[in-house]
Structure 1
Amino acid sequence: MTTAVRTRPAPATKTGPARRTTVLCLVLAPAVVAATVPTVLADGLLRGPAVMNGSVRGTALVVLVVALPGLLLALRAAGEGSVRAHAVLVGALAYLTYNAMLFAYATPFNELYLAYIVLLALSLWTLVSAFVDPLPRIDPGPRFPVRGVSAFLLTVAVLNAAAWLRVDVPALHQDPPGSLAGTGLTTNPIHVQDLAVWIPAITIVAVQLWRRRPSGMFLAGAALVFWEIEAVGVAVDQWFGHRAAPTSDVATLGGAGLFVAMAALTLLPLTLWLRAAPARP
């Protein structure tokens, strides 16, 4: 006599960000508006040098009109299972975290201090929440130029590190450092972030992609989105800073043009990634 064994079908694997991450993104959105709209529009609020005030307005504008809409559109599509949108979501959160740090550390204390702190807390912990969620694992496939895109990410990381160290190492024996002249800063939080966090992170992603790891393929897309928005943001903040203080060397039209070129160059590997990434896991 035999007994039939009934088996239950395995539950479908949920794709996209978890409910926790979705809720945090929706809470983050008004915090972005509260921190950036007054930064862009309010007169007399910013108390730094004119060039830095112009630059922070440019950054706030990109956060408001590029990163925030990108985040919300990606959140909706990622919730429906889009792998590409999920990568855009993570990249946008990384960009918001990066620049929330600068609002908090590089902007002289003003009435928006607590708004900047809330923006930093929500951006950072929403990004952490997104990384706690199961991330899509993508096979790069035979046609995707794995080593070319890896080399691009590594080149960005190496050139970025070299540019900052070229300035920072000679400044170790300067009091005050000449590189900070005209900024009103006592140390450069951009260099701190890049050298301690973002350059190592992008390097790890590039190595994972080089080894054709599925996680590396997904995170490479997020890194390219992050760098694309950041290049646009730096171009805009350089232009705004130059408009505010045309004689300053801190923000120049040459700097704006350089990052416009970087944004255009990044579109190539980003487009290749978008074409290679599957619509669904």
Structure 2
Amino acid sequence: MKHPFARSTSSPPYQTGQTRQTTTGLPPLWFWLSICAALFAAAGSITGLVMPERIYGKESATLFDAVIAQDLVNLFVVVPLTVVLGVLAFRGSLRSWLCLLGFLVFTAYNYAIYAFSIHFGPLFLVWVAVLGLAVFAFAGALSAVNTTDVKALFTGTAGRLPAWFLLFTAVLFAVLWFSEIVPDLLTGRPSASAVSWNIPTNPVHVLDLAIFLPGVFASGLALLRDHWLGYATAAGALIFLGLTALPIFLTPFVAQAHDRATGWTILAPMGVIIVAVSVILWLWLRPKRVWAPSTAAESS
């Protein structure tokens, strides 16, 4: 049986500058849920940046700097791109639709940490609202993806580079988290990173190991096996990884602005991840040449 992504060897010559885009846009319900999640997130981030002591004053210095960095990324990167991608997806851009999934996943991930780790306060209901909106928007947007359009978009596209990157990165982060968790468990001491945030346990470890790293690994594995789900989720998984690295990269600058000790060594590995994700994502989603019959003029 011929593979659904295989290109026929008997196809006529290709023409450049043409790409197949989905003819149906993101359904209105999932579009509006995405927009509402972005708007609520913007309101929360603006409030947090304008009144940081009022919102985050009960947190440890380490967590305080981390959430300020996260608010900056939310306000200036995640929110505007979520709106832009949502509008483009609504108007029929499949590439934007697939990228939007990554921003929705990251928003859900981020606001789960806000809702469960930041002290109860004025923005609690906002964070819960963003979490719920992002989760349902992601689930709905993914379920509405047309597999035929996805197959057409990635016809003739080699997915091994993004697939292996997703697999490697998921395993790498899992190993890093276990290298902290296992020694803490064996010695009977509290989680070192949780202590620095002054919380019972590290939500990043919980969410990554239980949900998100398995999801990234599954996306890479599906892509490696040429399953449509891998093609539908690879862009989102790459974006999720890049976005998780961005606030970590920014945190030392926030700490320096507050005259606190900075961990500059984190810049190199996070910078590598951000650049690698950007390059691989561009290679993965750039317009491809498609096969089309030659015109009579061309054949003459």
TM-score higher than 0.5: yes
How big is each residue's C-alpha offset from its partner over 1:7-42, in whole Å with a ceiling of 9 and x where there is no partner?
xxxxxx852311110121232232112211111221
- Choose from 214, 218, 231 the match for 1:204: 218
Q: After TM superposition, give the deviation of residue 91 of structure 1 in Å.
A: 0.9
Residue aligned with 1:117, SS: helix
Q: In structure 2, what is the Cα distance between the partners aligned to 1:165 and 1:187? A: 14
How big is each residue's C-alpha offset from its partner over 1:49-93, in whole Å with a ceiling of 9 and x where there is no partner?
122111101101111110111111111111221111111111111
- Choose from 44, 68, 73 the match for 2:84: 73
Quick check: 2:191–2:202 contact (8 Å CA) kept in 1?
Answer: no
Quick check: 2:98–2:235 contact (8 Å CA) kept in 1?
Answer: yes
Counterpart for residue 34 of structure 2? 25
Residue aligned with 1:44, SS: helix
Change (3 A) 1:43 1:24: closer
Residue 59 of structure 2 is aligned to residue 48 of structure 1: yes
How big is each residue's C-alpha offset from its partner over 1:197-236, in whole Å with a ceiling of 9 and x where there is no partner?
1111111111111011233112111111222222222212
Matched residue count: 263
Structure 1 vs Structure 2: percent identity of aligned residues?
A: 25
Counterpart for residue 3 of structure 1? none
TM-score normalised per structure 1: 0.86
- Choose from 120, 126, 138 the match for 1:127: 138
Quick check: 1:138–1:277 contact (8 Å CA) kept in 2?
Answer: no
Counterpart for residue 87 of structure 1? 98
Residue 245 of structure 2 is aligned to residue 231 of structure 1: yes
Structure 1 residues without counterparts, runs of 5 or longer: 1-12
Change (3 A) 1:277 1:80: farther
Letter in 1 for 2:128: I
How big is each residue's C-alpha offset from its partner over 1:225-268, in whole Å with a ceiling of 9 and x where there is no partner?
22222222221234324543633xxx612113321221011122
Structure 2 residues without counterparts, runs of 5 or longer: 1-21, 291-300
Residue aligned with 1:175, SS: coil
Residue 202 of structure 2 is aligned to residue 188 of structure 1: yes
Compute the RMSD of aligned alpha carbons: 2.1
- Choose from 150, 153, 163 the match for 1:150: 163
Q: In structure 2, what is the Cα distance between the partners aligned to 1:242 and 1:181? A: 21
Quick check: 1:17–1:130 contact (8 Å CA) kept in 2?
Answer: yes
Q: In structure 1, what is the Cα distance between the partners aligned to 2:52 and 2:229? A: 45
Q: In structure 2, what is the Cα distance between the partners aligned to 1:268 and 1:93? A: 21
The 5 A counterparts of 1:245-264 are 246-247=260-261, 252-264=263-275
Quick check: 2:35–2:86 contact (8 Å CA) kept in 1?
Answer: no
After TM superposition, the structure 1 stretch with the greater mean CA deviation from structure 2, 200-209 or 122-131, is 122-131
